Structures are given as C-alpha cells and as structure tokens.
Amino acid sequence: MLFGLFWGDWTLLVLLPGFLVTMWAQLRVKSTVDRYAAVPLRPGMTGAAVADRILQSNGVFDVAIERIPGELSDHYDPASKTLCLSERVYASNSVAAVGIAAHEAGHALQHAKGYAALRLRMIMVPVCNFGARLAMPLFFIGMLISYALSYLDLVSVVGLSLMLAGIAAFSLSVLFQLITLPVEFNASRRAMRCLSGSGTMSEEELRGARRVLGAAAWTYVASLFMGLLFLLRLLLILAGASGRRR
C-alpha cells in the first residue's frame, strides 16, 4: 500500500468508471466534431466571422480574435480579452467550426456582462494552480512518512496531516471543475441564442451546432466525475493509513 497511490492496490478500481466515461466523452466529441466539420454553412461564414458578428451585435468591441495552432485548442482568455480560435475553427465555414466559435464568443459575452460564475472561476485560477502543484507532493510525502514511520506516533500524525493537506489542496481543483460546468453550459446557451437569433444558420444547421456543443459539454462532466473519483481514492488511501496507525 506504500506505493499504492500509483499502482498495485484495489483503490485503482475506483478510477475505472472515470476512465471509461472520459474515453466515451472524448470519442463522442471527436466523432461529432468530425461529422459536422464536413457540413459547410450555407452562407459560407467562417468561425472567426461568426464570432466577430456575435461580439459586435452584443456591443463588445474590445475583444481581439486570433488564430492559434492546435486541435480543439479554442478558448477565451479574459486576462487579455482575446478569443483564440484553432486553425480548424478560425478559417472554416463548417457547422462544427461556427458552433465552437460561437461558444467561445459566449465566454467573451459572459466576461463583458460580468457573469458571476465566470468571475468566480477567474478569481480561483491562481489559488487552484497553487493547490494543484502542492496537492500530490504533500500527499505522497505524508503517505511515505505515515507508512514508513507508523511506529512513531507523533511522526505518524504529521504524515497523516500532510496527506489531509494534500487532499484539501486537490479539492480546490475539483471545486474549480464544478464551477466550470455552469460557465460552459451558459456559454453554449448564449451561443445558441445568438446563432438562432441572427439567422446565420438554418434549423438543421442549428441542430448540428447544438450537438457539437452538447458533446463538448460532456468532456467537462467527465472531467469533474474523474476528479471526484480521484478525490475518493485519496480519501480511501488516507483511511487505510489512519487504520494502520491504530
């Protein structure tokens, strides 16, 4: 159990459902994006053009739209007010590209309108990054101390305390993933409202864009599910270490 954080103990089985859901979500989003990447938008507008139209029509004039490398690397950077679109989205006029670009524009609208969940997520970023760097080193050092020196009561308590501190730090990452869900769902709702209200897409094209965004949303659900299962595993290892001390 000493090295069970990484291999060789039954708590690994706790993560199995998370791996399966994550794989399913990734396959679903890839297949859905690939399917609708082959369906061109009838007006011929690119993802970048649609994102720009959404921003302009909602009175947002201070957000830059940039092309970035990578596959599905699209994101909105609130710090620089930059909407970053991947090559596959920026210059493509496919239903998938337009849906993804509209979603990222939805994040820019959230920022402009002061959407509370996005503001909270922005505040949490540095704290969560700091916690993520500390979580596993604290937990692993604490586990080593607890198991290797369990015969020394005071030292063992220090080890368990470090493990608990690591779990608390990791919990910040899970909380961040939880807050991310409403942010992503809300951005998709804003995107679909803008697309349906602008007349940019037909009803059939709107259904395709909705499927693309729905599939993408499942990746965030899967990420949260995996984080919760990993947190459960850490708690089980802590319980085992605590039981060994008794």
Q: In DSSP terms, which residues pair with 40 in a beta bridge?
A: 94
Q: How far apart are CA 198 and CA 200, in angstroms?
A: 5
Among residues 80, 46, 45, 50, which one has the least CA distance to residue 63? 80
Residue with tokens 């308590």: 157
* Residue 66 is a catalytic residue: no
**Annotated catalytic residue: which of 66, 71, 104, 203?**
104
Q: How far apart are CA 231 and CA 132, in angstroms?
A: 13
Say if CB 18 and CB 229 are below 8 A apart: yes
Q: How far apart are CA 4 and CA 18, in angstroms?
A: 18
Assigned token pair, 133: 């760097």
The CA-based angle 71-112-190, given to 5 degrees, is 60
> How large is the angle between the packed helices 95-113 and 153-198, nearest 10 degrees?
110
Assigned token pair, 142: 């604490």
Outline where 38-152 has alpha helix (H).
Answer: 47-57, 87-90, 95-113, 116-148
Q: How far apart are CA 189 and CA 196, in angstroms?
A: 11
246 burial via Cβ count (<10 Å: 0-12, 13-18, 19+): exposed
- Catalytically active residues, by annotation: 104
